[in-house]
Amino acid sequence: MQNWIFWAIIGCLCLAVAATLIRALLVRGGDDEGSDLRFYRAQLTDITRDLERGTLMPDEADRLRLEISRRLLDADRAAGAKRARGRGAVLPAAILVAVCVAAAVPFYLRVGAPGYADAPFGPRIDAIEAARAARPDQAEAERRAPAPQTTPPDPELAGLMDQLRQAVARNPDDLRGQRLLAENEAALANYSAAAEAQQQIARRTGDAQDYALAAQYLGYAAGGYLSPEAEALLDRALSRDPREPLALFLSGLMMAQGGREDVAFRLWRRALEVGPPDAAWRPQVLAAMPDIAARAGVRWTAPDDLPPGADAIRSLAPDAQSEAITGMVEGLAARLAATGGDADEWAQLIRAYGVLGRTDDARAAFATAKASHDDPADLDILQQAAIAAGVSP
């Protein structure tokens, strides 16, 4: 029923537009012609009036009547010719308008969304929030996430890790031991264990950065996905320090994953304002911000403190900034391919490719970087970047 009403309204609108266009084509210039005739008739009346008053001589009045009558006849003939041409233009005008209106229907069927219900902003946000509330928890996300590819530690390191785990279990209040455990578990890609140790640290220190780092480890354990448990840790971090850069970045990433680009934009803009210029996540945010801003319906210009070699971006129009940032990524890729680089630089490239949606390039960069780095710490950096880019094997 609603579909029938929609097409009935569209049909009436098309007929109204067609009638308006045809009328405009047929009566074009008609008002000017009528004005000319009225003007000449008024002049004849004025001549008669002036003759009766004695302000105009009879011979002059006759001469003026003759001239004005000639002009009146010429104007009437011109108006008649235009009316005849207008009647002859009815069919071509009708065909032209019919073609335009008919072309609008397949165009709408191709680029429009017939049958799509209204989607006001409020209900859309409610639907997104409902989907976020029903998203998988940490345990389910970890079950779905692919296992990270890591090099097995040598027996000596494995033995030291067992001793460290036992020591921390005997003395859980030892913050130094907990930090060592969290860092080394993360280096071995045991992200669930690293997150557990980091949460123990955060509960004891109450520090915003510790909570943010625990959320990051949960994200790594879930293959880059930020679960409700990670969100709770991020909420605690930002409640303690609303300017904590890592928490702002991860919260924005979580919102972008859930379809709330408007919130992600605000969080990432704040992270760029308060975060250090050498933060590992900064290139990823800079590469994603033009698209996030467009999806959020706002204008965005790159901040003043861009990385070296990118100062010119801030002078560009917002639409050109995405292309410029993509050029920066291509420049980094070319340099690494030619001369190589450390693990942090390769991780930056992998993350940037992931943000730009170039997963094949991110996967190729990850494979190239792994082939040239064998240090466990470097491999962990690369693995985390691959997880963030969504290309972890």
Within-domain flag for 123: no
Number of domains in the chain: 3
pLDDT at 271: 93
Q: Do 92 and 194 fall into the same domain?
A: no
Q: Which residues have C-beta within 8 Å of that of residue 58, sequence separation ≥ 6? A: 51
pLDDT at 310: 46
Q: Do 268 and 286 fall into the same domain?
A: no
pLDDT at 385: 81
Pairwise CA distance, residues 326 & 352, whole Å: 9
Q: Do 95 and 14 fall into the same domain?
A: yes
pLDDT at 131: 86
Residues 280/347, Cβ–Cβ less than 8 Å: yes
Please state the separation of Cα 112 from the chain's center in Å.
19
Q: Do 107 and 138 fall into the same domain?
A: no
Structural domain containing residue 375: 276-393
Within-domain flag for 253: yes
Q: Kindly give the parts of the chain with pLDDT less than 70.
A: 1-3, 22, 24-37, 79-91, 93, 113-119, 121, 149-151, 302-327, 355, 392-393
Length of the chain in terms of residues written: 393
Within-domain flag for 246: yes
Give pLDDT tens digits for 368-393. 988 888 887 788 888 878 877 777 66
**pTM reported for the whole predicted model:** 0.58
